[in-house]
C-alpha cells in the first residue's frame, strides 16, 4: 500500500524527471535548428562559390603585371639615359678626332704625328665601343618594350575579367547579404539555448564533416550522416530524448523523427 507521503514524493520526483526530459529535448531541437540555419548559410556561401578567391587571384595577378610593367619601363628609361650618354661620348670623340687631325697639319716631327695618330685611333675605338653599347641598349629596349606589350595585353584582359567577376560577386552579395546576416543572427540565438560545451562539440563535428552536417536524423535505422546501422537499443535511447547521443562511427549528433517534427512545428 502506497502511503500519502510516498505518493507525494513520487509526484514531486516525476516533474523533475519530466523537466529534465524537456530540457534535453529542447537542446536537441535547438541543435537541429542550429544545423538547419547553418546549412542554409552553407548554401549561400556555395552559391558564391570560388568567386571571392577568383577575384583575389585576379587582383594579385594584375598587381604583379603592373609591377612588372613598371620595372620594364624603369629599365627602358635607364637605357635611354645610357644611350644619350654614349651618343654624347661619340660627339666628344668626334670633336677630339677633328682637333687632333688639325694638329697633325702643324706637327714638327714624326713623334708628334704618331702620338696624335694614336689619340685618333683611341677615340675611334671609343666611338666603336659606344656604338656597340648603343646597339645593345636598343636591343634590350626593344626586348623590354615587347615584354611590356605582352604584359599590358594580358593586364587589359585580366582587368576585363576582374570587372566581370567583381560585378558578379557584388550581385550575389547584394542578393544574399541580408539573408546571411539574418541567418547568422538566428544561429547565434539558437546557440545561446545550448551550453557552450555542446556548441563547441557541434562546431567541431561540423568542421570535420565534409557536408557540414553535425546533427542528423535516423533514416532506415541508420545514421543520416555516415549511413551505418544504429543498434536498436541506441535507437530507443535516441527516441527517449533523455541524453544527447552521437553516432559511434562518425560522431554526429543523432535525432529521431519526433525532434524533426517538433522543429517544423515551431516554424
Q: pLDDT tens-digit profile of 36-61?
A: 988 888 888 887 777 888 999 999 99
Confidence of residue 15 (pLDDT cuts 50, 70, 90): very low
Taking the whole predicted model, whether its pTM rises above 0.75 is answered as no
In whole angstroms, what separates CA 103 from the centre of its chain?
74
> Interior CA angle at 139 toward 134 and 142, to 5°?
125
At 13, list the grid cell.
520526483
- Structural domains for the chain: 48-189 (1.10.287.1490), 195-267 (no CATH)
Q: Per-residue pLDDT tens for 138-194?
A: 999 999 999 999 999 999 999 999 999 999 888 888 877 777 788 888 888 777 777
At 16, list the grid cell.
523533475
User: Is the model more confident about 245 or about 47?
Assistant: 245
At 1, list the grid cell.
500500500
Pairing, β 253-255 against β 245-246: antiparallel
223 phi and psi angles, rounded to 5 deg: -65, 130
Distance CA 253, CA 224 (A): 10
Q: Per-residue pLDDT tens for 78-130?
A: 999 999 999 999 999 999 999 999 999 988 899 999 999 999 999 999 999 99
Q: Give the model's pLDDT for residue 186.
A: 82
Amino acid at each position: 500500500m502506497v502511503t500519502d507521503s510516498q505518493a507525494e514524493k513520487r509526484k514531486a520526483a516525476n516533474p523533475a524527471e519530466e523537466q529534465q526530459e524537456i530540457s534535453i529535448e529542447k537542446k536537441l531541437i535547438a541543435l537541429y535548428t542550429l544545423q538547419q540555419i547553418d546549412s542554409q548559410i552553407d548554401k549561400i556561401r556555395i552559391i558564391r562559390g570560388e568567386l571571392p578567391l577568383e577575384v583575389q587571384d585576379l587582383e594579385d595577378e594584375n598587381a604583379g603585371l603592373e609591377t612588372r610593367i613598371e620595372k620594364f619601363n624603369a629599365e627602358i628609361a635607364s637605357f635611354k639615359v645610357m644611350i644619350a650618354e654614349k651618343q654624347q661620348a661619340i660627339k666628344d670623340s668626334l670633336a677630339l678626332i677633328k682637333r687632333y687631325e688639325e694638329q697633325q697639319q702643324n706637327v714638327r716631327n714624326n713623334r708628334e704625328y704618331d702620338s696624335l695618330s694614336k689619340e685618333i685611333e683611341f677615340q675611334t675605338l671609343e666611338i666603336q665601343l659606344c656604338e656597340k653599347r648603343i646597339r645593345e641598349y636598343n636591343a634590350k629596349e626593344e626586348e623590354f618594350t615587347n615584354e611590356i606589350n605582352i604584359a599590358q595585353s594580358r593586364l587589359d584582359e585580366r582587368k576585363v575579367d576582374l570587372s566581370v567577376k567583381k560585378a558578379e560577386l557584388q550581385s550575389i552579395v547584394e542578393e544574399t547579404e541580408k539573408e546571411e546576416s539574418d541567418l547568422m543572427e538566428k544561429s547565434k540565438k539558437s546557440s545561446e539555448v545550448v551550453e557552450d560545451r555542446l556548441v563547441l562539440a557541434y562546431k567541431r563535428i561540423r568542421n570535420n564533416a565534409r557536408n557540414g552536417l553535425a546533427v542528423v536524423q535516423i533514416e532506415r535505422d541508420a545514421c543520416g550522416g555516415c549511413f551505418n546501422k544504429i543498434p536498436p537499443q541506441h535507437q530507443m535511447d535516441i527516441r527517449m530524448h533523455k541524453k544527447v547521443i552521437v553516432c559511434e562511427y562518425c560522431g554526429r549528433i543523432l535525432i529521431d523523427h519526433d525532434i524533426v517534427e517538433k522543429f517544423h512545428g515551431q516554424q
